Chain A
Amino acid sequence: EAGVAQSPRYKIIEKRQSVAFWCNPISGHATLYWYQQILGQGPKLLIQFQNNGVVDDSQLPKDRFSAERLKGVDSTLKIQPAKLEDSAVYLCASSQNLGSFERTSHNTGELFFGEGSRLTVL
């Protein structure tokens, strides 16, 4: 089974430039997450999609960050314009739905991560 795919792995830009990251989740996973991980910290949730709808974007800095998942499969996270403090690893993750009454032996709601995209803003 293919894992979560992310690109690019590394990106260096100057402040005020724009950047986009792409994520393709595991096939069949309805829920997709974007996390930001600053060096030495745990991942912070930026946005969560259920199919192509947004479930939670309360911590997404909407003045500069945007994300979409138009067909309910792959997703793009964009930053425009970038600031120095946006230097971080952007992690994409996916999981299957796990309704309260729909647990089966093969559907545990487990979260799977991609390798991440490391952004350096100069």
Chain B
Amino acid sequence: KQEVTQIPAALSVPEGENLVLNCSFTDSAIYNLQWFRQDPGKGLTSLLLIQSSQREQTSGRLNASLDKSSGRSTLYIAASQPGDSATYLCAPRSGTYKYIFGTGTRLKVLA
């Protein structure tokens, strides 16, 4: 059974810092892994999807890496801004298109 852990659970940083959010999963037999952002009271917005054959994926100031064999993914946020404040969730996809979520990292970027 897939279990997903995200560290840290919460993070508060001043604007401009570079950040690293961690995601670990117990079953390495995944097809891909997706990172999401969730604003309070909203649904989840897809940020990046990494296929199992990829090591990295980039979108603007975001970079996600995947080490499938060790069951880890990292989301790197460069030059953080107050607008980045949200909860960040990772979800690896296992067989039968099943996505399992971690509990998320709550990020607050202070102006």
- Cβ of A48 within 8 Å of any chain B Cβ, yes or no, is yes
Please tell me if the beta carbons of A111 and B46 are within 8 angstroms of each other in the complex.
Answer: yes
Number of interface residues of A (CB under 8 A): 31
The 9 closest A-B pairs by CB, nearest first: A42-B101, A113-B43, A113-B44, A115-B43, A42-B103, A43-B101, A116-B43, A110-B49, A31-B97
**When each residue 37-49 of chain A gets 1 if its CB lies under 8 Å from chain B and 0 otherwise, what string results?**
0001111110010
Docked complex Cα distance between A93 and B43 (Å): 10
Shortest CB-to-CB span from A11 to chain B, Å, is 14
- Cβ of A72 within 8 Å of any chain B Cβ, yes or no, is no
- Chain A residues with Cβ under 8 A from B42's Cβ? 115-116
B: residues with CB less than 8 A from A are 4, 31-32, 34, 36, 41-46, 49, 51, 89, 91, 93, 96-104
Shortest CB-to-CB span from B98 to chain A, Å, is 6
The interface residues of chain B, by DSSP majority, are classed as strand
CB-CB contacts below 8 Å: A44-70 with B:
44-45, 48, 50, 55-56
Quick one: given A91-B44, A116-B42, are A111 and B34 in contact (CB under 8 Å)?
yes
Docked complex Cα distance between A59 and B4 (Å): 16
Docked complex Cα distance between A40 and B40 (Å): 10
Please tell me if the beta carbons of A42 and B43 are within 8 angstroms of each other in the complex.
Answer: no
Q: Which of A42, A48, A113 contacts B104 (CB 8 A)?
A: A42
Docked complex Cα distance between A55 and B95 (Å): 11
Please tell me if the beta carbons of A109 and B44 are within 8 angstroms of each other in the complex.
Answer: no
Known: A44-B101, A113-B43, A116-B43. 20 other contacts (CB 8 A): A31-B97, A33-B99, A35-B101, A42-B102, A42-B103, A42-B104, A43-B89, A43-B101, A45-B99, A45-B100, A50-B96, A91-B43, A97-B97, A108-B49, A109-B49, A112-B46, A113-B36, A113-B45, A115-B42, A116-B42
Please tell me if the beta carbons of A55 and B44 are within 8 angstroms of each other in the complex.
Answer: no
Quick one: given A55-B97, A56-B98, are A42 and B46 in contact (CB under 8 Å)?
no
